[in-house]
Structure 1
């Protein structure tokens, strides 16, 4: 009873009428390798996933010629360039602009990686935060799902990442609960689970709980039509845990030290047990998906191993909290892995995951015929000589600084025997240095400089970058102009076209495009 009162109080004061402003609309939900595996095992045909894939591939192939496709990818992967490509497209810069022509394929390549890994776009699926039903009215197999239009009704699939058990996807009934309206008010985007029964539904899904876990919820009619659930997970591990002190056992200073110690341990001495268990599980699952009914004995053997690996995997994930010592027996470790996992000891998979990987891998992003490096007509204008002289000197120094930064980053990566990060910190520092030279601030919007002076400097940067790119016949060298002065150039482009920008939310734009 106390639990219900706490939940009720929390919802009334923390969420009532405030959820829309505190929790934005959830990002578009995609499928994943684990979800595709579970759904395919549960009866969803391969043809359905391949249809989703082909639709996504068709769209990605138009990235260099279709503004909507280009903008969608630029928004989805905007964290790679601080939404630079999206800004350029939205202010009307043509897709055949030299820098966009060499940059958009980079973003398309990232999308291709996601598709190879099973990140397929799908309709009527959502990622929602889950909590317990404070009214106590939901039955064991019922949930209350609140979307933008309010509570929904009907069958839904519910899953929690990173669930590996074959029964981790549940078929539940979304039910309208009138009593919840007085608690959540106009709040949106959440799922409430029943509190009835000896064990929570959250625990049945990858040992979840109600402390902020996110759940994949689908009312996609095709998935509901085909999917048949398996028996839910019941942990059977025998791993022993150590006595872990509670936070209340520490003084504030001791607790701070202990938390920092755990952070360092997890960050720099991570356990590889969960990864090994997951990889082996995927290897066995791949085999299970292609076996026919005539291989019943082998299938049962695989499922038994997968159940054991699931227990080990969940224990390994919880080990920092529980103190459980987790080991994987050699007989549960896979000796070979499907080729889509990109490991050295691999074999060619014929499962749906292997088919998806192959289809994406064979497809090459085709660019439009190169038109060389050219300038936008509205930027090919006279620039004050003092600005040209200043940025001639700075651009020469920038090329030296960037070359040194990339060399230093490569040397550091090799000495640490780690794969070079796609985000080079020394290179980012160089970019920030020259942005500050332009704006006298980290960003255009924070600058106190006269706007016309910024525009003149931006045009000088554009001139030097594009002239050098022409000289070396490399459109990639145009990057300097847009990395340093991109925001100013976009605003100047609109000004020269006598156009005006409009306010737009990134999340709304992403919702519309996806």
Structure 2
């Protein structure tokens, strides 16, 4: 699971030392630094963060490791890793998205057996075991933290007893990757966690001793807001008007921002009455879609234009042919005209926060870390030897497929490539956040939008990144299907088709391009598919290989 700023702040206010968070952050930064040490580390990083899965990039990095080749010798592969690393660093710095290995995020369900007592949970999850197989684990501990997001009230974090003493034949033993809550007690635990329920909510379970707070605050107890009763059946017009009203009155993001601002300045942090009031307003805002009752912003506590330094916007970044570049000065022409009119987004002044979020923020110099990693990649002796990585991969493929007749599939390979690159260009333009600049090929291929006006603090950018990734994954899945199955479901010629696709990528230049130059990713995508098909072919005919 991952921490976020809201959880970090509440845990600090409940007594968790700042040094514990800094230790976890340093561990994560060191893990990020080690990514450049080998292609295998890069592959594991990409797999863990679900980067390049549809384009099979982790597979090609693992193959480079087997051949003792450095991805630093190939600018495109280097940039795929760099953009993923930058996105991860920005998440840590600007969102405090810190990995907690001794923590899990699971769906919550109720104990239908009635075995669990009040305050007890049954938490079962899977972790990688020997030879990559998943191993079932059951958490046992007197004090574990249970919470869910969003968490603004200090009572949104509670403790529970994780137990594994179940009667023989208990149906709970068959469960996996869930947290089971007791049905006993005056108030169920999920409802104590920012109004949670068991209709699909995710819960965070933390069993890292460094993050177990010495103090616990009573949970919030808000009066239930009755839903609006219009006194008649709902019509299509009602739905339309409700949607428009929701868009007009959605204040959750603004409330959360003010809460973070005031919590840093209040002596008691999130325990301050103003912060508790904002937490209650956030609860009303969250329930608006169910109740139809908008939050009353006239009740919002007074706040000014002075914010802690960790709330400052991230620097602009451009993704170029030469790699990722940090902009020293913002381009005023790129500012959002609508945002410039919003009084909540203008003329902020910042101070150095003494609390944990400020210390976590200042502990990371993303530009320096990124530049150090870039130098480390380029200093690899295999890079200085001038080895062309993709040429070596192509030589391996031609040796392994010397008896395969693939030349006849070159026309089909060109057709498939044209479809891939046409889809890629569509995604670059359709998901751009700027009217003048499409996304770069690296951003789409790497699954991370980090270009101009797209800092990781921007929720809209993160949502657009998810949408873009889904679209590109769907497109590439269809391309892989055409390569492997052909147009008539013929799997027997999958290897021949994949070799033809890679050959086209290695010998023919793309006819597609834009202001950033011609497209490059096809040969890497085709190479990954081809290498995978080589392995499939070898496994199938292993006795004769």
Query: Considering the TM-score relative to the shorter chain, is it more than 0.5?
Result: yes
CA distance in 2 between partners of 1:194 and 1:434 (Å): 45
Is 1:482 equivalent to 2:524 in the alignment? yes
Alignment correspondent of 2:78: 101
The number of equivalent residue pairs is 446
1:141-190, CA deviations, whole angstroms, 9 ceiling, x for partnerless residues?
33333443346242211112112101211122224453595232422233
Residues 15 and 214, structure 2, Cα contact 8 Å, conserved in 1 = yes
Alignment correspondent of 2:497: 454
Alignment correspondent of 2:255: 277
Is 1:338 equivalent to 2:308 in the alignment? yes
Residues 502 and 527, structure 2, Cα contact 8 Å, conserved in 1 = no
Stretch moving more, 311-320 or 168-177: 168-177
**Among candidates 249, 273, 276, match of residue 304 of structure 1:** 273
Task: Report the secondary structure of 1:282's partner residue.
Answer: helix
Distance of aligned partners of 1:215 and 1:270 in 2 relative to their CA distance in 1, 3 Å threshold: farther
**Among candidates 94, 97, 113, match of residue 90 of structure 2:** 113
Alignment correspondent of 2:228: 242
Distance of aligned partners of 1:402 and 1:464 in 2 relative to their CA distance in 1, 3 Å threshold: farther
**Among candidates 479, 486, 489, match of residue 435 of structure 1:** 479
Residues 438 and 454, structure 1, Cα contact 8 Å, conserved in 2 = no
CA distance in 2 between partners of 1:235 and 1:149 (Å): 36
Residues 273 and 327, structure 1, Cα contact 8 Å, conserved in 2 = no
Is 1:463 equivalent to 2:501 in the alignment? no
Distance of aligned partners of 1:300 and 1:40 in 2 relative to their CA distance in 1, 3 Å threshold: closer
Distance of aligned partners of 1:137 and 1:78 in 2 relative to their CA distance in 1, 3 Å threshold: closer
1:455-483, CA deviations, whole angstroms, 9 ceiling, x for partnerless residues?
34123223136x789xxxx9995412123
Residues 143 and 172, structure 1, Cα contact 8 Å, conserved in 2 = yes
Is 1:325 equivalent to 2:294 in the alignment? yes
TM-score, normalised on structure 2? 0.68
CA distance in 2 between partners of 1:189 and 1:437 (Å): 31
Alignment correspondent of 1:229: 216
Alignment correspondent of 2:15: 43
CA distance in 1 between partners of 2:470 and 2:199 (Å): 38
Distance of aligned partners of 1:121 and 1:386 in 2 relative to their CA distance in 1, 3 Å threshold: same
**Among candidates 347, 352, 355, match of residue 350 of structure 2:** 347
Task: Report the secondary structure of 1:145's partner residue.
Answer: strand
Residues 387 and 460, structure 1, Cα contact 8 Å, conserved in 2 = no
Task: Report the secondary structure of 1:283's partner residue.
Answer: helix
Distance of aligned partners of 1:340 and 1:263 in 2 relative to their CA distance in 1, 3 Å threshold: farther
In structure 2, runs of 5+ residues without a counterpart are 126-135, 314-344, 438-452, 455-459
Distance of aligned partners of 1:263 and 1:482 in 2 relative to their CA distance in 1, 3 Å threshold: farther
Is 1:167 equivalent to 2:117 in the alignment? no
Alignment correspondent of 1:6: none
TM-score, normalised on structure 1? 0.71
Q: Tell me by how many angstroms 1:277 deviates.
A: 1.0
Alignment correspondent of 1:295: none
Q: Tell me by how many angstroms 1:312 deviates.
A: 0.6
Residues 243 and 323, structure 1, Cα contact 8 Å, conserved in 2 = no
Alignment correspondent of 1:206: 194
CA distance in 2 between partners of 1:65 and 1:501 (Å): 35
Residues 9 and 357, structure 2, Cα contact 8 Å, conserved in 1 = yes
CA distance in 1 between partners of 2:507 and 2:274 (Å): 62
Alignment correspondent of 1:130: 108
Residues 126 and 218, structure 1, Cα contact 8 Å, conserved in 2 = yes
In structure 1, runs of 5+ residues without a counterpart are 1-28, 292-298, 503-514
Residues 156 and 174, structure 1, Cα contact 8 Å, conserved in 2 = yes
CA distance in 1 between partners of 2:159 and 2:16 (Å): 14
Residues 276 and 333, structure 1, Cα contact 8 Å, conserved in 2 = no
Is 1:54 equivalent to 2:33 in the alignment? no
Q: Tell me by how many angstroms 1:204 deviates.
A: 1.5
Alignment correspondent of 1:491: 532
CA distance in 2 between partners of 1:301 and 1:63 (Å): 36
CA distance in 1 between partners of 2:484 and 2:541 (Å): 24
Distance of aligned partners of 1:451 and 1:271 in 2 relative to their CA distance in 1, 3 Å threshold: same
Alignment correspondent of 1:287: 265
Alignment correspondent of 1:87: 59
Q: Tell me by how many angstroms 1:77 deviates.
A: 2.9
Q: Tell me by how many angstroms 1:439 deviates.
A: 2.3
Is 1:219 equivalent to 2:263 in the alignment? no
Is 1:194 equivalent to 2:182 in the alignment? yes
Distance of aligned partners of 1:490 and 1:244 in 2 relative to their CA distance in 1, 3 Å threshold: farther
Residues 3 and 98, structure 2, Cα contact 8 Å, conserved in 1 = yes
Task: Report the secondary structure of 1:347's partner residue.
Answer: strand
1:48-71, CA deviations, whole angstroms, 9 ceiling, x for partnerless residues?
111111111111112122344312
CA distance in 2 between partners of 1:198 and 1:240 (Å): 22
Residues 42 and 228, structure 1, Cα contact 8 Å, conserved in 2 = yes
Trace 1:382-397 onto structure 2 (pairs within 5 A). none
Aligned-residue Cα RMSD (Å) equals 4.5
